[in-house]
Amino acid sequence: MDEFDLIARYFDWPARRPEVALAVGDDAAVIDPPADARLVVTTDMLVAGRHFPLDTSPEAVAHKALAVNLSDLAAMGAEPLGFTLSLGLPETDADWLSRFSSALRRVAERWGCDLVGGDTVGSSVLTLSVTAFGTLPAGKIIARGGARPGDRLAVTGCIGDAALGLMVVQDPAAVPEALGAAARDYLRGRLDRPEPRLAAGRALLGSASAGLDCSDGLLQDVGHLLDASGLGAEIDLSAVPLSPAARDWLDARPEDIDRLITGGDDYELIVALPEGTEVDPELGLTMIGRLVEGPVGGIRERHGRVLPTRRGYTHFPGEE
C-alpha cells in the first residue's frame, strides 16, 4: 500500500459541513468561513509513549488526538469547523489504520468537524499532529487574560481522573486495592478519551471573563490564567470536584491529592466568572475559589498555605 492508496482508503470521506468547499485530495483545503466569523486555529501533537501509553487502542488514539485540539477550541468558546491530520507512521498496519480511521470519522462527526487534509510520512515513533479550525462570533472570545479581582474561579467536570488513570497504567502496584475493575476502567477511560467541553465553552462565551483548558495540571494551568490576567488566586482544595473513583482512591491514599491537582490530561475548562454571573447547572461547573489582587501568579489555599503553580507536566524539565 503506497501513501496515496493509504490516504484514499483511510482518510478520504466526504465532508459534511457546508463551509468546507474542498477537503482531502487536492493540494490544499478550501473553507468558506461564515460571514463576520473569526477563525480560531490551534494545533497539538501527540507522540506515542509520551502523550499516550504504548498499549493505547487505535480508537483511543484517534479520540484523543482530536479531543485535545477541540478542547483548546472549547476553551476559547469557539465552535469547531474542520481539522488537518499529520501522521508519522512506523508501519502501515491495515488493522490499526482501519480501526483508527473509523474511530476518527465517528468522533469527527460527533463533534461536528470535518477532516480537510493532512500529511502522511514514515516515522520511527507513531506521531500525530492535528490542527483544528473553529469559529467565534465577531468580537467575542474567552482568553487567558481578562479576569478581574473578585471573579470566581470555576472548573467543569472532575479533576485528576486522568492522572490516576496514568497510574493505573504505569504503576499498578500503587493503585489502592479497594478500587474495583469498574473504577480502574473509568480512570483509564478518562485518560484515553477526554471529552472536549465544547457546549460549556460556547455557553460561557460572553459571561466568562477569562478561561483556558486544563491540560498540564490544575495548579499549573490556573497559574497561566493568573499570569495572563495579572492576578493571584485563593483556592479551596476541598471544593475541587472529584469523581467517585478519585474519592475512593483518596480515601485509601490521601497523599495522592497532590497528583490530582498537578497531574495533566484533564481537558476540563477553568474559567473566571464575575460575581453574580448566573450559570446553567447543566454545564457542570464547580466553584473552587476566587481571584485576588496578588501576588501575581500566586495561589493560596483558603486556609493560608501557598500552593506551587510551577508543578505539572513539562516537556523540558530542568531547563529554565
Answer yes or no whether residue 89 interacts with ligand ADP by CB under 6 A: no
Distance CA 97, CA 85 (A): 13
Rounded to the nearest angstrom, the gap between the alpha carbon of residue 237 and the centroid of all alpha carbons in its chain is 21
Residue 6 or 214 having the CB closest to ligand ADP: 6
Q: Of the candidates 56, 267, 72, which has an alpha carbon nearest to the alpha carbon of residue 157?
A: 267
Number of neighbours of residue 163 by Cβ within 10 angstroms: 26
- Partner whose binding site includes residue 2, from Mg ion, ligand ADP, none (CB under 5 to 8 Å by kind): none
Answer yes or no whether residue 133 interacts with ligand ADP by CB under 6 A: no
Eight-state DSSP code of residue 68: H
For residues 47-86, which are near ligand ADP according to CB under 6 A?
A: 85
Answer yes or no whether residue 150 interacts with ligand ADP by CB under 6 A: no
Taking CA atoms, 167 is separated from 118, 188, 229, in Å, by 33, 9, 33
Sole binder of ligand ADP in the list 2, 18, 26, 95 (CB under 6 A)? 26
Residue 57 or 120 having the CB closest to ligand ADP: 120
For 138, how many CA atoms within 13 A lie in the half-sphere containing its CB? 5
Residue 4 or 244 having the CB closest to Mg ion: 4
Between CA 81 and CA 85, with CA 83 as vertex, the angle to 5 degrees is: 170
Binding mask 27-46 for ligand ADP (x = CB under 6 A): x-------------------
Contact positions toward Mg ion, by CB under 5 A? Answer: 27
Residue 27 or 36 having the CB closest to Mg ion: 27
Residues at the site binding ligand ADP, with contacts judged by CB under 6 A = 7, 11, 24-27, 85, 87, 115, 117-120
